[in-house]
Each structure stands twice: as C-alpha cells, then as structure tokens.
A and B are shown apart, each in its own frame.
Chain A
Amino acid sequence: MSKIAVTSEGPSLDDQIDPRFGRAAGFVVVDLESMGTQYLDNGGSQVLAQGAGIQAAELIARAGVSCLLTGFVGPKAFRVLAAAGIKVAQNLEGLTVRQAVERFKSGQVEMAQAANRAGR
C-alpha cells in the first residue's frame, strides 16, 4: 500500500493545493490504490513561532506517507523529509489535490533534490 500526502487548503481531493508546506492548512493523505483519503489538519504547525516545517514533516512522517506533493519547502523541513525517506515534489501550486495526484500517478512530476525556499 502506498500513501502520499498533498498540502491542501481543505479536506477533499477537489480542494486547491496549499502552496506552503510548513504552514499549509492541512494534508490530504491519498491511498494510491483505492484513492481513499484522510485529512490531517496542520493548525498546530501554523501557530508555531518557529519550526512549522519541521513539525509538519513529523506529522506526515507519522502518517506513513512515502511522498509529498506541494508548492514550496524550506531547508529544515526538507532535511526532516529526506531523513524520514519521504520523496518531495515541489512547484505544484495552482492545481487541485486530485490534479496533482493524477499528474503524480502518470509519472509527470519531478522529485526534488533540494529545498526550493530559503529558510528563516
């Protein structure tokens, strides 16, 4: 079973991708075989003064996902995601969660080698 997480502005496949990773509203976790979804609220990271990216990475790592689809990831979050063995696809803002997942399933997204945002 393979699960991926997508940063999302809302709980469903038809919500827009939240371009931010650490301070995303939440994550739609998608089971690629059944297309069943689960929503992880990320409000706890949004209110942190610092370390939102680290906490968000911990959250999706605990959910057991193998890949993350998102807009932008900073260097500290990228370090946690890499250590947890989660692949990252960036620059997917502007799509819905469903569109991003379909693009991923058809092999049209590129996996990032590094963060695409400066840290704070």
Chain B
Amino acid sequence: MIVAVASGKGGTGKTTVTASLAAVWDQPVTGVDLDVEEPNLHLFLHPAMAGCEPAYLPVPVVDEARCTYCGACSELCRFKAISVMGQLLLTFPEMCHGCGGCLAVCPEQAIAPGKRELGEISWGRAGAAGFLSGRLRISEAMSPPLMRLVKARLQQMLAAGGGDAIIDAPPGVSCPAVNAVLDSDVILLVTEPTPFGFYDFQLAWEAFSPLGKPLGAVVNRAGLGNDAIYQFCREKGVPVLAEIPYDRAIAEAYARGLIIAGISGRLQETFISLRDRVRHLANSKAPRQAAHA
C-alpha cells in the first residue's frame, strides 16, 4: 500500500505527519521524500544513508551528418527543445521534458539520447523503516521527471522487499503535487483550519478527487481558526482521520527535528489511530466516483 501525504498549502504539516506515521507503522514501511525541490524528511527520520546516485533525463543529441533537416522533430516538440529552420538545427536541452518523441519520429535515426542531470536519488534506512529521497539539481526547472525516477526506484524496492510506503508530497496542486499522489492507494490531505489553509484545501480536493482514490483529511493546528474545513469535509464526504492540536510543545519538538508521535502518549495514540484509519480507508471498496466521469 502506498500512502501519499499531500496538502495544497505548504507548511501545514505533511512532513510532520509522514515522519510520525512512518514511526508508528507496524508493518515494513519506506518513507519517501518526493518533495524534491526542498526535501526535508531526512531531518526527522535521521536515516543512515546506503547510497546515492545522479538521475538523468534523456535529451536529444543530433548527428547532423545523418540529419536531412526535414523538421519532423521540431514540429513534434511541444516544448521548443529542438528547432529546425532551413539547414539550421538547434537544440535546447534545458527545455526538454524527455518524452522521447523526437527520437521516435526521426526518419533518419539521426537523434540519440543524451542526458541532462536532474538531481540525485538517495536511499538508506531509518531504524526499521526504509528511506528514499530525491533532490533536484539547483537551477533545474522541472521536478516531475526526477519524481518519476524516484517512484520507479520505490517500485523496485517494494518489489524486492515488500512492505508499504508513505510519500511526503510537495505542496501545491500543480504537476509535481499530482505526480506525487498519482500512484498512491490513498491520499491524506494535511491542512490547518485557517482561511489560507481552507482555501488551499478546497483547491487540493478539486485537484485530487478526480483521481478517484480514497481521500482523508488530517487537521493540524486544530483549535485555530474556524470550522469551515470540517463543514466542507462533511459536505464532500471526506473523513477527518486525525486532529493534531495547536500546541507550542509540538512546534518545539519539530524545531529540534523530533518525531512528534514520540513526544507524548497522547500524540502516539493519535498517530496509531491515524495509521489504522488510513489502512481501513485504503482497503475500503468502492472508491469515490471520479468527479469528471
């Protein structure tokens, strides 16, 4: 089972929830940091790293001796990564999304896959849990290609060792966030009951509910703000699976890099209960009807 912890608004507690959930998980589990633009799960899980390798995207390298300047590649590319004007051919590897279309469409087989470094993938163990993380190269603009490679490695790890995975997703509701939840069996939306939290929670619900996956909410900083989120969840049939209180002791533990499930018996119970409810939700038959169906 893959659990994706997402949010909409940033800073609502995705990493806090991911780390605590991994800590109370009673089956083999891997904690995965898919927030590759600013990975921070390691700051809480303190993994012993076992390996790290660079990740690459295939980008076009043209053998101009074979090129007839027919322009088929340039016409196909949606991202202007390859340009043919008359007898002139230019490539812009930094614009390439790595779809491989130019290689496939070239009638002369004049294009070979080169590589652009996307960042690095690292892995290790955090106590009983496995750990996997991606880190985007500074100045690299696209995170989904690296995220796909991290997810491919996760599939290899799960195929070899079994167990579950908990994914710390990036914030927002655009391509990276959708990419992070796409292969999950259940989505947890971490939010806070502030106007900003509520607004982005609605956006996240709109973005993720069409995926037709079981979806539950975790309200962090409960006690702040108003009850708009609870009302919205009732209307949309989104179960509120846990509430984490608005408490200075939690902020202090977070600032020290502690896993908050470990700082009090009550919080441990909160996350054990969340774990059981997530599992129950993931196994519930009849996922929500896709909104666009």
A residues lining the B interface (CB < 8 Å): 48-51, 54-55, 58, 61-62, 76, 79-80, 83-84
Contact = CB atoms under 8 A, between A and B. Distances in A.
Nearest to A79: B90
A48 B80 contact: yes
B95 A51 contact: yes
25 contacts: A49-B79, A50-B79, A50-B80, A51-B79, A51-B80, A51-B81, A51-B95, A54-B80, A54-B83, A54-B95, A55-B80, A58-B83, A58-B85, A61-B86, A62-B85, A76-B92, A76-B95, A79-B90, A80-B83, A80-B85, A80-B90, A83-B85, A83-B88, A83-B90, A84-B88
Contact of A84 (B80, B81, B85, B92): B85
Contacts of A51: 79-81, 92, 95
A79 B80 CA distance: 13
A112 B157 CA distance: 54
Interface string B187-225: 000000000000000000000000000000000000000
Contacts of A50: 79-80, 95
Interface string B64-103: 0000000000000001110101101010100100000000
A16 to B, nearest CB: 27
Contacts of A54: 80, 83, 92, 95
A39 B81 CA distance: 26
Contacts of B85: 58, 61-62, 80, 83-84
Interface residues of B, number: 10
Nearest to A61: B85
Interface in B160-186: none
Interface in B95-139: 95
Nearest to B89: A83
A83 B79 CA distance: 19
Contacts of B86: 61
Contacts of B80: 48, 50-51, 54-55
A114 B81 CA distance: 21
Contacts of A48: 80
A80 B92 CA distance: 10
B64 to A, nearest CB: 13
A58 B75 CA distance: 12
B69 to A, nearest CB: 13
Contacts of B90: 79-80, 83
Nearest to B77: A51
Q: Which 9 residue pairs across A and B have the least CB separation, nearest first?
A: A51-B80, A54-B80, A61-B85, A58-B85, A83-B88, A54-B83, A55-B80, A51-B95, A50-B79
A51 B74 CA distance: 12
Contacts of B79: 49-51
A79 B90 CA distance: 9
Nearest to A119: B94
Contacts of B83: 54, 58, 80
Interface in B245-282: none
Given A51-B79, A61-B85, A84-B85, 13 more contacts: A50-B95, A51-B81, A51-B92, A51-B95, A54-B95, A55-B80, A58-B85, A61-B86, A76-B95, A80-B83, A83-B85, A83-B88, A84-B88
A52 B34 CA distance: 30
Nearest to A22: B80
